[in-house]
Amino acid sequence: MSHLSGYRFMWLMVMFDLPVMTAPERKAAAGFRFDLLDFGFEMAQYSVYLRCCRGKDHVDAVVRKVERALPDGGRVDILCFTDKQYENILSFQRGAAAASRKTPGQFALF
């Protein structure tokens, strides 16, 4: 397998539900979203964030960060899949197929 194999890079998809009934809960939820951005995630949908990782060890480190950042009462589900699987994601917007997603260009530098 080459260094830039589509099976080496792993994607994390973080999906979460957070309590937002009180002002402190809303503040904690906003803080969690900012934490995800600081961890290198990009927002795919309001409660769904994506991030590319260099391999299993990197995935494990990022997952631990997400777990520690999760506010009380929140729930998070994390899916992990290869770059090859990510290329097969189908996206639709207003009934039309959207362009397929590609690995960010900066990862080609490794």
Of 14, 9, 92, residue with least CA distance to 48: 14
Hey, what are 44's tokens? 């795919």
Q: Which CA distances in Å does 34 have to 40, 53, 61, 77, 97?
A: 10, 19, 18, 17, 30
* Total number of domains constituting the chain: 1
In a domain, 37, yes or no: yes
CATH code of the domain covering residue 24: 3.30.70.240
Proportion of the chain above pLDDT 90, given as a percent: 65
**pLDDT (tens digit per residue) in 48-95:** 999 999 989 999 999 999 999 999 999 999 999 998 888 888 888 786
Domain holding 27, by residue range, is 10-85
pTM score, two decimals?
0.79
- With respect to residue 98, please indicate whether it lies within any of the assigned structural domains: no
Residue 109 falls within a domain, yes or no?
A: no
**Within a domain: residue 105?**
no
Query: Does the pLDDT of residue 108 top 50, yes or no?
Result: no
| 33, part of any domain | yes
Query: What value does the mean pLDDT of the chain take?
Result: 86
